[in-house]
């Protein structure tokens, strides 16, 4: 069995897959609760603000079967936010009607700099 290392999606700290870290179903990983919270990570919870362990008003035997149950997720998998590269691609294609390479050429032309 090998150990894998990856970076925290917020602070960039190295994380060992056999250590303590927080992970979202979408593949994002964080080194701490603080970093996960910055990315809008929320653990399993009741949408009504109740403790998922004590759900007296539910007719379901298990909270995860209830319509008010929300699985753990971050702001990206809930689509409350998007990665910068997704936003750039959207703006280039839908609003500027140009490719990334065309944007580079345009930037160089107006910036007057050499790359």
Q: Which of 13, 8, 12 is nearest to 30 (CA)?
A: 8
Mean pLDDT of 37-63: 73
* pTM over cut 0.85: no
pLDDT digits (tens, 9 = 90+) for 53-87: 665 666 656 667 777 788 899 999 999 999 999 99
CA angle, 26 then 31 then 34, to 5°: 95
Burial (CB < 10 A; 0-12, 13-18, 19+), residue 14, is exposed
Which alpha helices (H) appear in the chain, and where do they start and end?
33-38, 84-90, 100-111
């Amino acid at each position: 069995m090998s150990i894998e290392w990856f970076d925290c999606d917020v602070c960039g700290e190295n994380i060992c897959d056999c250590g303590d870290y927080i992970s979202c179903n979408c593949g994002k990983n964080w080194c701490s609760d603080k970093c996960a919270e910055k990315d809008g990570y929320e653990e399993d919870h009741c949408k009504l603000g109740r403790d998922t362990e004590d759900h007296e008003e539910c007719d379901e035997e298990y909270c995860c079967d209830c319509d008010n149950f929300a699985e753990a997720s971050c702001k990206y998998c809930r689509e409350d936010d998007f990665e910068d590269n997704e936003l750039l691609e959207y703006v280039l294609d839908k609003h500027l009607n140009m490719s990334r390479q065309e944007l580079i050429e345009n930037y160089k032309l107006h910036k007057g700099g050499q790359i």
